[in-house]
Structure 1
Amino acid sequence: MWPRSLWRDLEAFGRREGATPFMVLLAAYQVVLSRYARQEDVSVGSPIAGRTHGETEGLIGFFANMLVLRTKVSAARSFRELLGQVREVTLGAYAHQDVPFEKLVEELQPERDLSRSPLFQVTLTLQNTPVTDVTLGEGLRLSGVESEGRTSKFDLSLVVEEVQDGVVVAANYNTDLFEAETVLKLLRHLRTLLNAAIAEPETRLGELPLMDAEERNRLVKAWSGTASEYPRDAGLAVLFEQQVERTPESVAVEYEGQRLTYRELNRRANQLAHHLKGMGVGPEVRVGLCVERSLELVVSVLGILKAGGVYVPLDASYPLERLSWMKAEAGVAVLVAQEKLADEVASGGELVVCVDTEWATQIAHQPETTPSTRVCGDNLAYVMFTSGSTGKPKGVGVPHRAVSRLVLGADYARFGPEEVWLQLAPISFDASTLEVWGALLHGAKLVVYPAGTPSLEELGRKLETSGVTSLWLTAALFEQMQARQPQALAKVRQVLAGGDALPVARVKERLEAGGVLINGYGPTENTTFWRGATWAALS
């Protein structure tokens, strides 16, 4: 129920503007519908009594007709301007109210759809006629009876009625289209917008608020959690080195039975960094990276960053023409690759480092000390190319602070030294950013899956034998694993999935088993996630 004070303000505003309360209400309703539907052309149906002559007032019968009130809602116009348009539209409809709605449909011949009514799908009714008992004589009296409609004739019907204590606002809606919570929110938004429009009618429609202070605070502050503390000014290499000091002997990376502690990984990355610096790698220098999942991959990523460079992932499965274009587009000056891939990828005259075969002969002789580089949070960490599904692929430059924000300034997932992350995504896919840095900046163990695409059974065995606790999967792979390898997946404490809509049935299965599921999705431009939505079974 709306307070009576709001209705008094609405009536007073209408009198000043030469409009009826219905016109003011309709204008506000159409603005809300326009904002929800994201369209400017809004048609609302409204019933009219059809008793335009005094002789018909006492007759029993159905004279009502439906009017179609169509308005152009432009975000740049003011509410006062819209109300003037609504006034003209409404008066014009009243002048032609004798034309039956059925005749209008017959003349206009709109494209018919049995799932909805023609010309309009939402209605507005202002119930301002007092309901009184009718005496017919000889003791016969007719009384009004409250009824509760169970069937919706339209997608959404809004009924407003002034009563003694205030204004009753009720909605009848199609449950195939709307949840009750959505309709209640729409009514709250209508009230908020109406208050604001009456108070400041010169406000542009696009700037009229829908949310009240409480909802805005909840959405912007309580739910979004955008404000967080994280080391935004430090480079990733420095943050990793700080972690090395905290957990030097903990296992940092594991691959096919081989392990490197944080201290050992740091030393190897330092050696590669010194080697790369000697080849001219420094801040903002692009370094192509074509290394399959292995220990060398993790060492290479760290080594490039420790030298101050920017790694540019290159997938050897791509056509050579595309790889050449990517290198030229990114300005790759040096290529770090495995020897078996270097011959295929190195075609632009860039300097090449074979991180596997050159290690013993050249890289291993470099100092193990941390090289001196001047890299801050604003420097680029990597350039990753989009798939090009919407046209030409583009390289996205991601700074160090964006990665640290992803894993150090977030609360959507559990991070810590007790976690075991599986590195499954290709390095050219930004999910690898979460896997690598979600582990290495928290003292966790990163288990690198061998090169190639595993079968569901192979992946399930790996999860169990390696004790993986944190896992990122595409939506499709999550669905397959939940269907075919539910026991192995159940042992993973938190699963992150995204890239597409998650299947509801599989989500329910995961939650019923007591696991945590994080729906994480975001474009490459946003550093992996917009924000994760965490679901967990209620205990």
Structure 2
Amino acid sequence: MQHKMIEGYRLSPQQNHLWLLQDQDKMLPFKVQFALLIEGNFEQKILEMALQNVVDSHEILRTTFPGLPGMTIPLQVVVERSTLSIDYYDLKNLAPQAQEAEINAVFNSVSQLPLDVVQGTLLHVYAIALSPHKQVWIVCLPAMNADTSTVGNLVRVIGRAYTSCLRGEELNEEFIQYADFAEWQNELLESEETKTGREYWRKQDVSAALNLKLPFEKVSPLHTKFKPKHLQITINQDLVVGLEELAHTYDTSISVVLLACWQVLLWRLTGEENIIVASAFEGRKYEELEQALGLFAKYLPLACHLNETAQFSEIIKQVRETFQDVYKWQEYFTWEIAQDQTEKPLFFPLSFEFEERPEPYWVDGVSFSILHQYVCFDRFNVKLSCIQQQDTISAEFHYNSTVLDEKTVNRLATQFQTLLESAINHPETAIAQLEILNEQARHQLLIKFNQTQTNYSPVRCIHHWFEQQATISPDSIAVIFEDQQITYAALNKQANKIAHYLQQLGVAPEVQVGLFVERSLELIVGLIGILKAGGAYLPLDPVLPTEGLTFRLQDAQATVVLTQQHLVKRLPESGVRVICLDADEGTIATENYDNPVSTVTAENLAYVLFTSGSTGKPKGVAVEHRQLFNYLNAIIETLDLSGCTSFATVSTFAADLGNTTIFASLCTGGCLHIVSQERAANPEALADYFRRYPIDCLKIVPSHLAALLTCSHPKQILPRQRLILGGEACSWHLIEEIRKFAPECRMFNHYGPTETTVGTLTYSIQPEEIGQRSQTVPIGRAIANAQVYLLDSYLQPVPIGVPGELYIGGAGVARGYLNRPDLTTQRFIVNPFNQEQESTLLYKTGDLARYLPDGTIEFIG
């Protein structure tokens, strides 16, 4: 049995790397293609003869890459003779505009054709005749055989060969053959004498580069397809002049300034302090290699360490020094060294290259000039290619379309140009303060995403809204607690009696009344009674220790507490007037049951809720009627609650989570189910209750709901119409679980700190949504008359996709912290984006979030 043999040369490290990157699509994305404009009194046959001579004299243009079964890496084999492949197009009869369109169409069509690097013809030419003295060649080569510098070198050598052929002379030039270079480089990397160079690269930690991710990279498999696309912008001429001046000032090149700007932008978008970008190096630093053809170039990692206080000028200097180091050691980098640090796919996600496009090349009255080109010899997620041609610079953003979409890359291009202008004009400015958002982007983030203006007038107190509802539906059941229930008329009358009683005790606007009551009918009666008296209710959780109760009552300067007989002994002996809603029922019953009159307005306090402080000392959040009024209107409208007839609250009244269902129910004529603490914690007991009393609308914390869904009949836990999730981040896994049991129920994620009145953002979870675009369920957009801003540490808006601190403004911002002017000033700041004459406040939440492309907000933590 005869064994097939191949005689050839080892691949160069560059070719070896590229071969391992290829998909099983005949190297489709990895190619070198350019459109060459040829003008003048040329002779077609001489041109083609010149091209054939160039192919004959340069082995790399005749090199294929066959292998044998079992071989992972092929050999490079030089074919003795390679016949030219030329396709002809005659466009002489078309108008110039039509000719240009056809050239572009052919260029794009050719770019999609596979190249056979194993046994096919390597160099393909498509000759397009435009006139007797003008034609365009579209030339295509595999990237295994060429790189960016090959294009210019090939054009020049074709021109010189044309002159030689025209004069009947031999092309008398000495060329470095690529196979010889490949062998030299392989031996170099194996030599003990080059150990120092290899050690330089072993000390460079490239793992950070391989983990860099831009915002909104698509969730995709590790070995996703590589489908490159690109978009191009032209850098403003004034910026080009500024670039040249800046490069001169800091004794460096334009390419270094552009690379520094690219790294600063990537830092601003990722937040990573160590930004590693793979920069293209020609691989021709020796004079004898300058005019050589073949894949000499490689992308090498350039690390840049950034922090928000560093000036752009300092980054330029850092990049310049790193670039010089890498240039010195460029031939010693191999991916085998990088493999020691990572098991991820071996390519750098973020890349950069700078190319000086050659001037038209003239020989014997014929000019050769490159119209445009496509070069891809390595993989990337995003590559910035800056091309200087005469006095213009264009920036091409090449991207893997399976990882990033066109809109994201468009934003990236705009941000780069904005940052470049800012950096050129202010090189001594800290990089964190350079602009990356143009006016259009700022308007979108600050204005367009916050167009929530809605007129809810006249603004009134919440208890007046309830009184109106009690008139509309007096005989409807207002509240149910276990086996007790009360109608709207009865609830209104009982609350009125308490209100009259409290007014006799001095309760009036701005007076806080403690509400120390377990979940019951009495709790709702007392709450509404306090509001009707003109006071503000102060909910006190029955599980609070005495110390906590004492602090809250003293801080609120509460002189009256509504409670129940069995809780009295829990109250501190602080001199407050204690009224037992059960034991003192007889006394209260003698009071007037008509709606009381008070001087309370929407600008007065409605309630004070104490939240836990970071130092352990709770702080009281003071919320006014107008804030609660706006919230209630907005949430009824946004969640479309008007069709719900039964609501349930399963959380503590000492927090505002339940205010959504409590007030929405009582102000729209619904029936409010107050679930006891014991039942709310027992999945089976709650499922049994909801079976007997089906619920339309439920608001609950996601982790609480997840625990309840472990019951034997999880479907019974879920409401029929609206499920509102809030209080913590919500996972997509929970949403999938809910869908299994209640596919018809509309789900909403709801976010907002107590300081901005219950909730400020809502997100409607769509029926088929499974979380492709976010890690957790988004928190959505601002409700009516609320504004939401994501800002950096300088109170400037962050770009879409970049984490920023969440600030909330608008009608829901609370008055501030009770008796804490220092903390109020710290967390409630003047709104720097206010366009109204009257000053408004923003609440600094301390939470991180980011914008999704459509303006929806995703909570981060």
Tell me the TM-score normalised to structure 1 length.
0.81
Report % sequence identity.
Answer: 25
- Distance, in Å, in 2 between the alignment partners of 1:320 and 1:283 is 27
RMSD (Å) for aligned C-alpha atoms: 3.8
With over 3 angstroms needed to count, the CA separation of the structure-2 counterparts of 1:244 and 1:169, relative to structure 1, is same
How is 1:205-244 mapped onto 2 (pairs within 5 angstroms)? 210=436, 223-224=449-450, 226-231=452-457, 233-244=459-470
With over 3 angstroms needed to count, the CA separation of the structure-2 counterparts of 1:266 and 1:225, relative to structure 1, is farther
Contact 2:422 2:434 in 1 (8 A): no
Deviations 1:239-272 (A, max 9, x none): 2223333333332222234332222211111110
Aligned length: 508
Which residue of 2 is the match for residue 328 of structure 1? Answer: 554
CA apart distance, 1:335: 0.7
Which residue of 2 is the match for residue 17 of structure 1? Answer: 246
**Aligned mate of 2:726, from 487, 493, 498:** 498
Deviations 1:150-170 (A, max 9, x none): x76xxx542325499964312
Which residue of 2 is the match for residue 365 of structure 1? Answer: 590
Amino acid at match of 1:160: S
Which residue of 2 is the match for residue 517 of structure 1? Answer: 747
- Give the 3-state SS of the residue equivalent to 1:277 in structure 2: helix
Q: Please tell me whether residue 345 in structure 1 is matched to residue 345 in structure 2.
A: no
Which residue of 1 is the match for residue 99 of structure 2? Answer: none
- Give the 3-state SS of the residue equivalent to 2:626 in structure 1: helix
Residue range with higher mean Cα deviation, 369-378 or 41-50: 41-50
Q: Please tell me whether residue 54 in structure 1 is matched to residue 279 in structure 2.
A: no
CA apart distance, 1:309: 1.3
Q: Please tell me whether residue 461 in structure 1 is matched to residue 688 in structure 2.
A: yes
Which residue of 2 is the match for residue 304 of structure 1? Answer: 530
- Distance, in Å, in 2 between the alignment partners of 1:420 and 1:319 is 34
Uncovered stretches (5+) of structure 2, i.e. residues with no partner: 1-229, 359-372, 770-861
Contact 2:696 2:721 in 1 (8 A): yes
Deviations 1:207-257 (A, max 9, x none): 655556666666556655532333484222222223333333332222234
Q: Please tell me whether residue 26 in structure 1 is matched to residue 26 in structure 2.
A: no
Deviations 1:286-325 (A, max 9, x none): 2111111111110110011111112111112121122212
Residue range with higher mean Cα deviation, 501-510 or 431-440: 501-510
With over 3 angstroms needed to count, the CA separation of the structure-2 counterparts of 1:193 and 1:36, relative to structure 1, is same
Which residue of 2 is the match for residue 271 of structure 1? Answer: 497
- Distance, in Å, in 2 between the alignment partners of 1:303 and 1:489 is 32
Q: Please tell me whether residue 379 in structure 1 is matched to residue 604 in structure 2.
A: yes
Amino acid at match of 1:392: K
Q: Please tell me whether residue 400 in structure 1 is matched to residue 625 in structure 2.
A: yes
**Aligned mate of 1:443, from 661, 665, 669:** 669
Which residue of 2 is the match for residue 488 of structure 1? Answer: 716
Deviations 1:126-168 (A, max 9, x none): 252669xxxxxxxxxxxx996586x76xxx5423254999643
- Distance, in Å, in 2 between the alignment partners of 1:218 and 1:439 is 36
Which residue of 2 is the match for residue 416 of structure 1? Answer: 642
Amino acid at match of 2:723: V
Which residue of 2 is the match for residue 527 of structure 1? Answer: 757
- Give the 3-state SS of the residue equivalent to 2:641 in structure 1: coil
With over 3 angstroms needed to count, the CA separation of the structure-2 counterparts of 1:417 and 1:487, relative to structure 1, is closer
With over 3 angstroms needed to count, the CA separation of the structure-2 counterparts of 1:104 and 1:169, relative to structure 1, is closer
- Distance, in Å, in 1 between the alignment partners of 2:417 and 2:497 is 66
- Distance, in Å, in 2 between the alignment partners of 1:290 and 1:30 is 58
Which residue of 2 is the match for residue 136 of structure 1? Answer: none
Residue range with higher mean Cα deviation, 503-512 or 526-535: 503-512
Residue range with higher mean Cα deviation, 253-262 or 369-378: 253-262
- Give the 3-state SS of the residue equivalent to 1:245 in structure 2: helix
With over 3 angstroms needed to count, the CA separation of the structure-2 counterparts of 1:67 and 1:162, relative to structure 1, is same
Deviations 1:453-497 (A, max 9, x none): 431111122223222111011111222334534321455311111
With over 3 angstroms needed to count, the CA separation of the structure-2 counterparts of 1:241 and 1:342, relative to structure 1, is same
With over 3 angstroms needed to count, the CA separation of the structure-2 counterparts of 1:97 and 1:406, relative to structure 1, is same
CA apart distance, 1:503: 2.9
- Distance, in Å, in 1 between the alignment partners of 2:662 and 2:233 is 59
- Distance, in Å, in 2 between the alignment partners of 1:327 and 1:354 is 17
With over 3 angstroms needed to count, the CA separation of the structure-2 counterparts of 1:537 and 1:215, relative to structure 1, is farther
Contact 2:277 2:352 in 1 (8 A): no
Tell me the TM-score normalised to structure 2 length.
0.53
**Aligned mate of 1:170, from 380, 392, 398:** 398
Contact 1:229 1:409 in 2 (8 A): no
Amino acid at match of 1:523: P
CA apart distance, 1:419: 2.9
Contact 1:232 1:404 in 2 (8 A): no
- Distance, in Å, in 2 between the alignment partners of 1:366 and 1:102 is 95
Which residue of 2 is the match for residue 180 of structure 1? Answer: 404
CA apart distance, 1:58: 3.8
Contact 1:338 1:356 in 2 (8 A): yes
Contact 1:460 1:489 in 2 (8 A): yes
Uncovered stretches (5+) of structure 1, i.e. residues with no partner: 132-143
- Distance, in Å, in 2 between the alignment partners of 1:280 and 1:379 is 16
Contact 2:418 2:437 in 1 (8 A): no
With over 3 angstroms needed to count, the CA separation of the structure-2 counterparts of 1:65 and 1:418, relative to structure 1, is closer
Q: Please tell me whether residue 470 in structure 1 is matched to residue 693 in structure 2.
A: no
- Give the 3-state SS of the residue equivalent to 2:583 in structure 1: coil
Deviations 1:75-128 (A, max 9, x none): 7x8xxx62x3343233323433344379999xxxx9x9637899x976431252
How is 1:119-158 mapped onto 2 (pairs within 5 angstroms)? 123-128=350-355, 157-158=382-383
Amino acid at match of 1:332: A
With over 3 angstroms needed to count, the CA separation of the structure-2 counterparts of 1:232 and 1:14, relative to structure 1, is farther
- Distance, in Å, in 1 between the alignment partners of 2:502 and 2:333 is 77
Contact 1:65 1:100 in 2 (8 A): no
- Distance, in Å, in 2 between the alignment partners of 1:438 and 1:332 is 27
Which residue of 2 is the match for residue 89 of structure 1? Answer: 318
Which residue of 2 is the match for residue 139 of structure 1? Answer: none
Amino acid at match of 1:429: A
Contact 2:267 2:306 in 1 (8 A): no
Which residue of 1 is the match for residue 97 of structure 2? Answer: none
CA apart distance, 1:342: 1.6
- Give the 3-state SS of the residue equivalent to 1:377 in structure 2: coil
- Distance, in Å, in 2 between the alignment partners of 1:437 and 1:459 is 22
Q: Please tell me whether residue 249 in structure 1 is matched to residue 475 in structure 2.
A: yes
Q: Please tell me whether residue 194 in structure 1 is matched to residue 408 in structure 2.
A: no
- Distance, in Å, in 1 between the alignment partners of 2:382 and 2:290 is 26
- Give the 3-state SS of the residue equivalent to 2:658 in structure 1: helix
With over 3 angstroms needed to count, the CA separation of the structure-2 counterparts of 1:69 and 1:515, relative to structure 1, is same
- Distance, in Å, in 1 between the alignment partners of 2:462 and 2:300 is 66
Q: Please tell me whether residue 428 in structure 1 is matched to residue 654 in structure 2.
A: yes
